[in-house]
Amino acid sequence: MASKSRSAFVRQYWNLAEGQQLAFTEPILGHLQVPPEHKGPKSEAFRVMIGVLKNKLRSNVPSMSSAFQIRIEEAVALEVANLNDKCEKNHGDWQKVRLMPALLRIFTRVNLLAFIGEDQADRIEVYHDVMRFFWSCAKAFPILNLMPGFLLPLIGPVAMGWGITRLRVYNILLWITCQALEGEDSGDEKPVSDTFCLEVAIELRITHQQAPGHIAQWTAEMTRLQDAAAVAKITLGLLFASAFQVPMVAQFCVYSFCKHPEYHERLRAEAMECKDTSFGALNQEMPYLDSFVKETARLSPGPIRKLAVLPHELSAPRTVMVPYTSPDGCLIPAGNWIAIPQLSLMRDESVWPRALTFEGFRFVDEKHGTSESRLTHPSYEFPFWGSIRHAW
């Protein structure tokens, strides 16, 4: 696909956003996903997602950064603690760690602090329930990727272990949502028995202390919905969406750091300069590290596996809900999948100078020592987190 065609495709792709739903989520989230009619850029779920992630979370990052740092240190220590005699004998001070599982556990512990607050994030049973749900998702992905669409309703529940781990996590979020909505009626949908809230409260040993703000609370506060079950589904979707992308990027960054020692000195110097810095809401700190991570992500994009029927690594797969004809006459029937050819776009020489060369500080203005663009800034050329939604 020519570069101009790729760029036009990405723009056309996001023009379809209102008529699409995320592929893969139905067999993963099952009946607990946000209904298709409530998705899209004009939906309540999308409005809440933007408000929570771009406004509430971003504005609270400065006050939460110290807690995040402590949580990261504790989580890393748990992964490398208790060297056994064999490890010490064979590797000295080094210990073998399975990187992706370890990073998933580390970032899950940190994410839970933002999603459900410190009181609940500290409960070991809550952490284990969430990890079991994520492992269920990870095991289901390769199975579901190979299934034809008509088999997904049959195979999906089996691949997800009948949704047991998913329901436990949803129940936790539902209880927190009920508290945030001040115990109002959670609607007609009852995922468990009528004594659900009492049982979960006992299991979690809830205290009545006032907890700091968190995503589950903000979601309940910002939505116009008064149905706790519907609100909890939005939070569950956000939690699922946060699970794998960042650990994958972190894993690739470790590999890049090992392969490119020429960047060590500058990155370490920046880390020492910022070791006592509280990160601000504008997200402008540590431009060299941010660029290094973004360049790593550019050349190692996304956790979405190569599908058997498609030749390229993809991002943002969507199921087309209504037929659409592009300006150049291409018809996309309802029911088809459509996605961004992310790997080829990120390595396109006409879009990225020296596209196949790793340039760790590609996104830094060296003259001023500031970021030209950030990892968290999506664009048509860098759709790692999705893309911008502008009419054209």
Q: What is the pLDDT of residues 285-325, one digit of tens each?
A: 899 999 999 999 998 865 544 333 344 467 777 778 788 88
pLDDT tens digits, one per residue of 130-176: 999 999 998 888 787 777 777 878 888 888 888 999 999 999 999 99
Amino acid at site 311: P
Is 90 exceeded by the pLDDT of residue 195? no
Per the model's pLDDT, the better-predicted residue between 193 and 98 turns out to be 98
Binned at pLDDT 50, 70 and 90, residue 267 comes out as very high
| pLDDT tens-digit map of 71-127 | 999 999 888 876 554 455 556 667 778 899 999 999 999 999 999 999 999 999 999
DSSP, res 210: P
Long-range contacts of 178-182 (CB under 8 A, 24+ apart): 178/228, 180/216, 180/217, 180/219, 180/220, 180/221, 181/220, 181/226, 181/228, 181/231
- 161 and 203 Cβ atoms separated by less than 8 Å: no
pTM for this entry: 0.77
Out of 302-316, 321-335, 349-363, which region has the weakest mean confidence (pLDDT)?
Answer: 302-316
Helices (H), 209-286: 215-222, 228-241, 245-259, 264-273
Give me the half-sphere count of Cα atoms (radius 13 Å) on the Cβ side of residue 306.
8
Q: Distance between alpha carbon 127 and the CA centroid of its chain, in Å?
A: 17
Contact by Cβ (8 Å): 324, 19: yes
Helix (H) or strand (E) holding 331: strand 331-332
Does position 265 have pLDDT exceeding 90, yes or no? yes
pLDDT of residue 43: 77
Average pLDDT of the chain?
A: 78
Q: Give 122's DSSP letter.
A: T
Q: Are 17 and 41 in contact (CB under 8 A)?
A: yes
Rounded CA-CA distance 263/281 in Å is 27
